[in-house]
Amino acid sequence: MIEPTDLAGSFTLPGTSIAVNRMGYGAMQLAGKDGDKLVWGPPRDVEEAIAVLRDAVASGVNHVDTADFYGPHVTNQIIRKALSPYPDDLVIVTKLGAGRTKDGSWVPALSREDLTAAVHDNLRNLGRDVLDVVNLRSMFSVHGPAEGSIEGPLTVLAELQQKGLVRHIGLSNVTAAQIAEARQIAPIVCVQNMYNLVQRSDDALIDDLARDGIAYVPFFPLGGFSPLQSAVLSDVAAGLEATPMQVALAWLLQRSPNILLIPGTSSVEHLRENLKAATLRIPAEVLSKLDAINGHEKEI
């Protein structure tokens, strides 16, 4: 069942005049791969990466997610080359809090010096005077949220906001307790955690954030480096004459109105396939089948 939409409608970040279409784009996959080092170095085809970004924006995407530690520096430099001078309505969301070692490992970078340098790296490589939204990424665990106070680094980020270098602040890889702590320090406009059809530990958190009008931005909405695989998902997709990945994205858009999507790809063809998910409406009886998966089928 296909119904025309405008990239699944828009969402206004709380306390701001920033409205973004709910189907956005994540730039992580624009970086390359060097041996076992993922998201490292330039892509194999820089021109294709540029084409992906331009095609996304031409299609109505006005929310691009990035980080200067992708590459490092690579994705931001490609974004600048592809899209600068930037459209007035384009919102670029970046992240701080992680760094890369020479062997490609992801490590915390949360000191005052690290965060200040990261803001200036993002400004320089994106070619901007101020960053639209900056997510502070918690690093108590690299691969998922873990408890611990984020007061110190968030206070630094709030100071950089007060200096006019950052407009709005979000969080990434965080727990409900960390979000509550953060909201005592600065207004939080979005939360970015891992969430998809089979990784649903944030179900209650999404609903709580929706009540407060805060955006929830799932990373790895299609499973990340190991794409989602589910017999139920495949059967539903066949019945809807869509791909399993389109159904997984459409399910997220229908899951809650505060969910913003940032599926990533380095292929124009794959980008266009993802964007078509914004036109897919899943009937209620089919949604219930997808809802029932809820982690019973594991991502492989």
Cα 78–82–86 angle (5° rounding)? 115
- Quick check: pTM over 0.85? yes
**What are the structure tokens assigned to 75, written together?**
């994705």
H or E element: which one contains 147?
none
Residue 295's pLDDT is what? 53
Question: Count of residues for the chain?
Answer: 300
Residue 293's pLDDT is what? 87
Q: How remote is the C-alpha of 25 from its chain's centroid?
A: 7
Cβ(107)–Cβ(99) under 8 Å? yes
* Closest listed residue to residue 24, CA positions, set 278, 263, 248: 263
Residue 113's pLDDT is what? 98
Residue 141's pLDDT is what? 92
The Cα 18–Cα 16 span in angstroms is 5
The Cα 161–Cα 143 span in angstroms is 27
**What are the structure tokens assigned to 195, written together?**
């969430």
Of 25, 70, 195, 216, the active-site residue reads: 70
Superfamily of domain 11-226+257-263 in the CATH hierarchy? NADP-dependent oxidoreductase domain (3.20.20.100)
The Cα 36–Cα 16 span in angstroms is 41
Under-50 pLDDT residues of the chain: 1-5, 296-300
Share of the chain above pLDDT 90, in %: 89
**What are the structure tokens assigned to 19, written together?**
């409205």
* Closest listed residue to residue 230, CA positions, set 161, 298, 158, 149: 298
Please say if 70 is a catalytic residue: yes
β 188-192/215-216 pair status? parallel
Residue 217's pLDDT is what? 98
Residue 298's pLDDT is what? 41
Q: Which residues contact 294 (CB under 8 A, 6 or more apart)?
A: 198, 200
**pLDDT per position as a tens digit, 201-260:** 999 999 999 999 999 999 999 886 666 778 899 999 999 999 999 999 999 999 999 999
Dihedral-angle region of residue 269 (phi above 0 means left; psi in -120 to 50 means alpha; beta otherwise): alpha
The Cα 92–Cα 27 span in angstroms is 10
Residue 4's pLDDT is what? 40
Residue 172's pLDDT is what? 98
Residue 297's pLDDT is what? 44
H or E element: which one contains 167?
strand 166-172
Residue 225's pLDDT is what? 63
Residue 6's pLDDT is what? 81
Where are the domains positioned within the chain?
11-226+257-263
**What are the structure tokens assigned to 244, written together?**
């399993």
